[in-house]
Amino acid sequence: MYTEIHDLDQFRAHLDARHSLQNVVCQNLDLRTFSALLRAAAVEGTIFLGCNIDGSILADLSDRGAVIFPALPALPYQPYRAGLYTPQELLQGFVAGKGDSYFADTLDGAIYRHYIRYRQTKHRHHYWKR
């Protein structure tokens, strides 16, 4: 069973109480100021999803059993969110009566355009064969 940590207060409290991040999933945290604590903590089985981590400790964390999924800033959506987008977030920017507003001005439209652009990846079948 994994413990999910979504904010820095949770992160600090967990480390203060246990001095370990074993079997913890950290999502979307800026951990660059916690390098010393990360070096000292047990991290075997820790999963970092989209966290900002000082590059000087990435290899150390990986060598000690952590799994690191980097942030993907070029995407129009956040794949490591702790929860679903709200309708308000998806439709922010929508202008009623403006014909192309949904597709041109909203996050939902940007995500859809990204999907349409990349759904027909030429080499997708190549990865399935592996």
Look at residue 51 and tell me if it is in a domain.
yes
- Residues in contact with 39: Cβ distance below 8 Å, sequence separation at least 6, in sequence order: 57, 60
State the average pLDDT over residues 54-78.
Answer: 95
Look at residue 32 and tell me if it is in a domain.
yes
Do 91 and 57 lie in one domain? The reply is no
List phi, psi (to 5°) of 24. -120, 140
Encoded amino acid at 54, one letter: D
Q: Which residue would you say has higher pLDDT here, 122 or 36?
A: 36
Do 29 and 64 lie in one domain? The reply is yes
Look at residue 44 and tell me if it is in a domain.
yes
List phi, psi (to 5°) of 37. -65, -40
Q: How confident is the model at residue 127 (pLDDT cuts 50, 70, 90)?
A: very low
Look at residue 128 and tell me if it is in a domain.
no
Do 61 and 110 lie in one domain? The reply is no
Is the whole-model pTM more than 0.95? no
Do 61 and 13 lie in one domain? The reply is yes
Residue 60 CB coordination number (10 Å): 13
Q: How confident is the model at residue 92 (pLDDT cuts 50, 70, 90)?
A: very high
What total of structural domains would you count in the chain? 2
Do 101 and 45 lie in one domain? The reply is no
Q: Which of 1, 4, 52, 50 is nearest to 25 (CA)?
A: 4
* 51: helix, strand or coil: coil
Residue 97's domain spans which residues? 87-121
- Residues in contact with 42: Cβ distance below 8 Å, sequence separation at least 6, in sequence order: 19, 20, 21, 22, 64
Do 41 and 7 lie in one domain? The reply is yes
pLDDT of residue 39: 96
Do 65 and 92 lie in one domain? The reply is no
pLDDT(130) > 60 = no
Do 63 and 92 lie in one domain? The reply is no
